[in-house]
Amino acid sequence: MNNSKITILSKVMLLVVMVLLLSSIFVPMWRIELSAPQYPEGLVLKLHANKIAGDVDIINGLNHYIGMKTLHKEDFIEFTILPYIFGLFAISALVVALIGKKKGLYALFISLIVFGVLAAVDFYRWNYEYGHNLDPNAAIRVPGMSYQPPMLGYKQLLNFGAYSIPDIGGWMLIASGVLLFILVLKESNMLKRFSKSKVTAVLLFAFSLSFISCAKTEPTPIKLNIDSCDFCKMSIADGKYGAELITVKGRTYKFDDIMCMIKYGKENPDTKVASYFVNDYNQNNVLIAAESAHFISGTDILSPMRGGVIAFSDATVAKEFQLKFEAEPMNWDAVFTK
């Protein structure tokens, strides 16, 4: 048996890769979602391999006021060459499947990785120029402000929240890369050199790379006397009563009172929350996970908006303050439904 030949299964998987690469040309590759109070339903910019789609006209109108360049397909050479690049990769996958040479598989995988790196660099360059090269005569100018959209994940731009993620075509490309990576491991016999647990860990790590930075999960420190409560709009001045929530898209909302966060959630049920944090009353402006915190509630607790609820990371300390304030103990579920 010729060891330079790939297996039948690998050939079938290469045909799947070919289909994914071809299909990605006809669907959006990337999307940038914009949210703001004046656009409750949000705006979306969809980047295809050969065009820009979505709410382009509205976004161009907004960009004009702050001096950003308007978006036009003709201004980007990428939209001319990308369909040919994806087509070339698809044909290459077919050729490798037909010829069945391992060297061809390795070359295809390395080429796709190099393309991915170059594409990421180009996308960053485009985002940087788009957000920094502003018209000095724009109607709205904020000294020192740039409007560079995030490459991946969430970013606040004035009153707009921008969320950048792969779209259907992007996930197809990611799936193609993951499949090729698995085939390379299989055909190079690397799978036989490791235990099943190690192989699983490697594959999970490779797949998880596509999700890095999609959405943050760690709290952002509250800037006292600078940040304002997203519910009552009051300045957050005390680091003992505050709270913070992070949406599944990575957007952060800050509050001066734990109950402000609870009320905000009730008034905005469509907000998809990933995690909740509350200030530890016994520390100075330290946020802790709400699910593991120990809460007490009482009328003698004079929180900024008179929510009457404070949190602690330590159960013993919470008990001491419970006696001091003649308060009642509560868990997170009780606070959440209060």
**Residue 29, domain CATH:** 1.20.140
230: in domain = no
118: in domain = yes
Residue 231 CB: number of other CB atoms within 10 A?
22
Question: Same domain for 52 and 160?
Answer: yes
Half-sphere exposure of 186 (CA within 13 A, CB side): 18
With 0-12 CB in 10 A as exposed, 13-18 as middle and 19+ as buried, what is 67? middle
Question: Same domain for 45 and 128?
Answer: yes
223: in domain = no
Q: Is 190 in a helix, a strand, or coil?
A: helix
Angle formed by the axes of helices 78-99 and 8-23, nearest 10°: 160
Question: Same domain for 33 and 150?
Answer: yes
Question: Same domain for 204 and 296?
Answer: no
Domain enclosing residue 44, as ranges: 8-211
The total number of structural domains in the chain stands at 2
Residues 215 and 231 sit within 8 Å (Cβ to Cβ): no
53: in domain = yes
92: in domain = yes
End of a domain among 191, 211, 231?
Answer: 211
Question: Same domain for 196 and 257?
Answer: no
233: in domain = no
Question: Same domain for 18 and 74?
Answer: yes
Question: Same domain for 130 and 68?
Answer: yes
Question: Same domain for 107 and 202?
Answer: yes
Question: Same domain for 115 and 163?
Answer: yes
Question: Same domain for 30 and 96?
Answer: yes
219: in domain = no
Question: Same domain for 301 and 186?
Answer: no
End of a domain among 211, 226, 252?
Answer: 211
Q: Kindly give the confidence (pLDDT) of every residue in the chain, 338 residues in length, as a single tens digit, with 9 standing for 90 and above.
A: 446 889 999 999 999 999 999 999 999 999 999 988 788 678 999 999 999 999 999 999 888 888 888 899 998 999 999 999 999 999 999 999 999 999 999 999 999 999 999 999 999 999 999 888 888 888 887 777 788 888 888 888 878 888 999 999 999 999 999 999 999 998 988 756 655 555 555 555 555 544 444 455 789 899 999 999 999 999 999 999 999 999 887 888 999 999 999 999 999 988 889 999 999 999 999 999 999 999 999 999 999 999 999 999 999 999 999 999 999 999 999 999 98
End of a domain among 211, 230, 252?
Answer: 211
Radius of gyration of the chain from its Cα atoms, rounded to whole angstroms: 26
Angle formed at CA 115 by CA 202 and CA 17, multiple of 5 degrees? 65
pTM for the full predicted model? 0.69
Question: Same domain for 53 and 150?
Answer: yes
216: in domain = no
